[in-house]
Amino acid sequence: MAIEIIATGRAVPLRRLTNDDLAKQKQIDTSDEWIRSHTGIGARHIADDSTACSDLAVEAVKNLFSRAIETGAVGEKTPEELARTVDFILLATSTQDYYSHPSTSCIVQDRIGAVNAAAMDITAACSGFIYGLETVAGLLGISGKRKRALVIGSEVLSRITDWNDRASCILFGDGAGAVLVEKTAAPSEGEGRRGLVRSILAADGSGAEHLMVRRGGSRNPYRAGEVVDIPPHVDMDGQAVYYFAVKAVTDTIKNLVQEDGISIDDVDIIIPHQANARIVNAAGKRIGIPEKKFYLNIDEYANTSSASIPIALDELAGNGKIARGNLIMTVGFGAGLTYGGNLIVW
């Protein structure tokens, strides 16, 4: 039995904010040169005021359904028929439509007509898609009757960005990516193995302070009548996160390769979480992996958190840069602190 990704989709807001636009429109003391040289980011896409997390997620899933039907990846002929075959929806996000509940995945479930699907959100920040894929693999594997699931990463990070903090606001963008996962009869190990073959999921809660939205939770709730002095924005110690991230990426790649008994040369492409190109390059140098083995689209989208890996997967699948049988590695890290990776035979 294998857990295979059979279709992908993405949604990215049309509004594109280049580094120069950002400096001008938000009146930030920065420059295209500084942002590019320190992060590899050239632009980010920003949702309009009426767009929430579920809107981007629904658009990504609709695109996925169209692609799945077009390519013959599924037997169903219409998006409505396909939606009814989904057994589970897992949505990874840090920017839910509503604080606490309902989960955004339930809103998506209703809007796409996935009437037979259970739905839940997970919070693993930028590692959300990596955590989500492994979680869904477990859910499909345990139950004999569940066959198909959607794993979605969707974020409107522009809503929790502190636009006065030039060290963090340059980093983030909005977007959503989705994959349709199916339990198939193919082998998951040995000759001809397919689908998700292994994952590493890890956390280091001692670093929670380094990347946090301090306001709004039960630690620091809204109190009637107060003037909000600390808004619910991302508060980040950039250097601490940077050092953690380089080690997280390095360790995850090494461990995935070692646990699977393969060489890094067997991996066709590594899709890192798109947080900072310098983090990826530093990790690559440490373990002697050529830059071209990593797929980077951070120049266009910046850091879209849980959406960055599924957006990249959809781009690669759409433009034929990954083909059936390719060995793909994902690797990511984020608030929590969390980190991990997946090894997937496409």
Please give the residue ranges that form the binding site for ligand COA (CB under 6 A). Answer: 30, 34-35, 38-39, 126, 166-167, 170-171, 236, 238-239, 241-242, 245, 275-276, 303, 334
When CB distances to ligand COA are compared, the closest residue is 238
Q: Cβ of residue 178: shortest distance to ligand COA, in angstroms?
A: 20
Three-class secondary structure of residue 197 per DSSP: strand
CB-nearer residue toward ligand COA: 109 or 168 = 168
Please report how close the Cβ of residue 65 comes to ligand COA at its closest, in angstroms.
29
Closest approach, Cβ 58 to ligand COA, in A, equals 25
Give 181 or 246: the residue with its C-beta nearer to ligand COA: 246
Joined tokens for residue 297 = 């689209």
* 233 catalytic per annotation: no
Catalytic residue among 210, 273, 276, 342: 273
In the numeric block, which tokens belong to residue 140?
């499909």
Identify whether 169 is a catalytic site residue. Answer: no
Q: Which of 19, 126, 233, 342 is catalytic?
A: 126
Residue 267 φ then ψ, to 5°: -85, 125
Q: Which is nearer to ligand COA, 137 or 280 (CB)?
A: 280
Least separation in angstroms between CB 138 and ligand COA? 24
Nearer to ligand COA, 82 or 249 (CB): 249
Q: Measured between alpha carbons, how far is 60 from 56 in angstroms, rounded to an integer?
A: 6
**How many angstroms separate the CA atoms of 78 and 70, rounded?**
10
Angstrom distances, CA of residue 299 to CA of 98, 160, 276, 304, 312? 30, 21, 10, 12, 12
Catalytic annotation, pick one of 19, 63, 276, 303: 303
Question: Is 303 among the catalytic positions?
Answer: yes
**3-state secondary structure (DSSP) of residue 336:** coil
Is the distance from CB of 326 to CB of 345 less than 8 angstroms? Answer: yes
320: number of Cβ within 10 Å: 7
Give catalytic residues, as residue numbers: 126, 273, 303
